[in-house]
Amino acid sequence: MKILGIETSCDETAAAVVEDGTRVLSSVIASSADLHSQTGGVVPEVAAREHLRSILPVVEKALRDAGVDWPQIDAIAVTYTPGLIASLLVGVNTSQALAYLKGKPLIPTHHIAGHIYANFLGRSKEEIQFPLLVLTVSGGHNELILMKGHHDFRLIGQTLDDAAGEAFDKVARLLGLGFPGGPAISRCAEQGNDRAFDFPQAMLGLGHRFDFSFSGLKSAVRRAVEGMEKPLSPAQVSDLSASFQRAVAQALAEKLADAATEHRASSVHLAGGVSANRLLRQMARQSLPDSVSLFFPKEMVYCTDNAAMIAGAAYFDPRPLAGWKGLPASSWADLAAA
Ligand code: KG4
Ligand code: ZN
């Protein structure tokens, strides 16, 4: 089964053709991130206009790169939530029009389900064992999700304030490192001493065993910066980056390992933009028992937003338009109900 995936929830206009949920025949991504780096964050109006400009050429290129034409496409999958509403609308409206014109079923797909299924791309279905525990860490999401089967999502924990990616982006802005912050901080951290600053990890009260909080850490970095003479030297920025990155990766890896043990997960998955972080991967591996296999997207490009993951997620639960209630608000409840 060949599915054309379309993703426009943030600043990437993406289309891909994926066969049977795992074999990527093409994946095209046009990003407007360069425009947003000038403003230090995504400007929704700018992102939506760029989607309008790119969407049809990107879809055409995805079909061309895959060496297929419309008759070979079995269905179209599109991200319907969560995301920036004007950006989502470009993908959804285009997909609805194409589905109608070409006579294809349309599968509305949750963006976070997409990130989770990015781990199946390029792998055999048998390689991944349930129950699996996923840590979704992106710019807007930070959840621990238990799956006992396909599209069976149970929320185990979540952030009480910022998502990990959001914390990376805010701290990067504070350090003058630009947007997106995650890759910039990791690069800087390579030259830094990760013990130079002893940033705190959130102590959460009873009932929040698998929840996260990054606002205290973010404030601690701000206070440290405020107490230093300006401008900061490159060495100081590197030390701050390395110490901050260690604190985030440690907090994520520790909770992940505890939850994996408690829920007897056979495999543990990192998903979303922050899953590209090498230190997080390393620390997650070190904190998990050897018997638990660790997965992250096989290719770096599937960590951040792309359309192959949307086509992949849709394959494992190809429910067409019936029952779709349009564009609901972004929330965990949407994924649980998806
Ligand atoms: O999944 P994604 O592309 O978009 C959302 O759905 O949010 O994730 C983007 C986030 C940004 O916050 C970015 O700073 C972060 O992922 N990110 C990273 C790395 N690469 C991207 N964070 C830490 N380390 C990285 N290497
Ligand atoms: Zn995303």
Q: Is the pLDDT of residue 23 over 60?
A: yes
Neighbours of 326 (CB within 10 A): 8
From atom 14 of ligand 1, which residue's Cα is the shortest distance away?
Answer: 182
Helices (DSSP H) in the chain: which residue ranges? 33-37, 44-66, 85-102, 111-117, 164-174, 181-189, 215-226, 234-262, 278-287, 308-315, 332-337
Lowest mean pLDDT among 132-136, 138-142, 254-258: 138-142
pLDDT of 320? 59
pTM for this predicted structure: 0.92
Which residue type, as a one-letter code, is found at position 303?
C
Distance 313 CA to ligand 2 centre (A): 13
Q: Is the pLDDT of residue 104 over 80?
A: yes
Question: Greater confidence, 39 or 167?
Answer: 167
Most informative mutation of 174, 278, 304 for ligand 1 (most atoms within 8 A of CB)? 304
| Cβ pair 90, 48 in contact under 8 A | yes
| Ligand 1 atom closest to residue 169's alpha carbon, by position in its atom list | 14
pLDDT of 158? 94
pLDDT band at 330 (very low <50, low <70, confident <90, very high): very low
Distance 277 CA to ligand 1 centre (A): 9
What are the residues whose beta carbon lies below 5 Å from ligand 2 (ion)? Answer: 138, 305
pLDDT band at 329 (very low <50, low <70, confident <90, very high): very low
pLDDT of 206? 79
Distance 120 CA to ligand 1 centre (A): 19
Q: Closest Cα to residue 92, out of 52, 43, 65?
A: 52
Neighbour-count burial of 293, counting CB atoms closer than 10 A to its CB (0-12 exposed, 13-18 middle, 19+ buried)? middle
Q: Is the pLDDT of residue 323 over 70?
A: no
| Ligand 1 atom closest to residue 12's alpha carbon, by position in its atom list | 3
| Cβ pair 273, 304 in contact under 8 A | yes
Most informative mutation of 110, 135, 168, 306 for ligand 1 (most atoms within 8 A of CB)? 168
Work out the average pLDDT over 266-279. Answer: 97
Distance 273 CA to ligand 2 centre (A): 6
DSSP annotation of 226 reads H
Work out the average pLDDT over 264-291. Answer: 97
pLDDT band at 334 (very low <50, low <70, confident <90, very high): low
Structure tokens given for 245: 């990155």
Lowest mean pLDDT among 156-170, 214-228, 292-306, 312-326: 312-326
Distance 139 CA to ligand 1 centre (A): 5
| Ligand 1 atom closest to residue 303's alpha carbon, by position in its atom list | 1
pLDDT of 202? 80
How many residues would you count in the chain?
A: 338
| Cβ pair 62, 27 in contact under 8 A | yes
Ligand 1 pocket at CB < 6 A: 10, 138-140, 165, 168-169, 180-183, 186, 272-274, 276-277, 304-305
CA distance 269 to 28: 24
Write out pLDDT tens, residues 60-89: 999 999 999 999 999 999 999 899 999 999
Distance 124 CA to ligand 1 centre (A): 26
Distance 213 CA to ligand 2 centre (A): 19
| Ligand 1 atom closest to residue 166's alpha carbon, by position in its atom list | 12
CA distance 228 to 226: 6
Which residue type, as a one-letter code, is found at position 40?
G
